[in-house]
Amino acid sequence: MTNSESSIAGEDDMATRMPDFAVVVVGSVLVDLPDQFPTVNLHEQEPPYRGLNFPVGLADGAAIAACLEDRPALRPTSQDLLALVLQRTNVDVIAARITGLIGGNFSAELDLLGPRGREVIPCRASDAINAALRHPGGAPILVDVALLA
* pLDDT tens track for 38-58: 999 999 999 999 999 999 999
- Taking alpha carbons only, the member of 98, 111, 131, 106 closest to residue 24 is 98
Cis peptide, bond prior to residue 115, ω within 30 of zero: no
Q: At what angle do helices 58-68 and 78-88 cross, to 10 degrees?
A: 60
The parent domain of residue 139 ranges over 3-147
Supply the pLDDT for residue 1: 40
- Taking alpha carbons only, the member of 145, 15, 119, 126 closest to residue 78 is 126
Q: How confident is the model at residue 76 (pLDDT cuts 50, 70, 90)?
A: confident
Domain count, the chain: 1
CATH number for 115 = 3.10.690.10
On whether the CB atoms of residues 143 and 42 are closer than 8 A, the answer is yes
Q: Give 144's strand partners.
A: 21
Task: State residue 78 phi and psi, 5-degree precision.
Answer: -60, -35
Supply the pLDDT for residue 146: 95
Q: How confident is the model at residue 67 (pLDDT cuts 50, 70, 90)?
A: very high
Supply the pLDDT for residue 73: 80
pLDDT at 3 > cutoff 60: no
What is the pTM assigned to this prediction? Answer: 0.86
In this structure, the chain runs to a length of 149
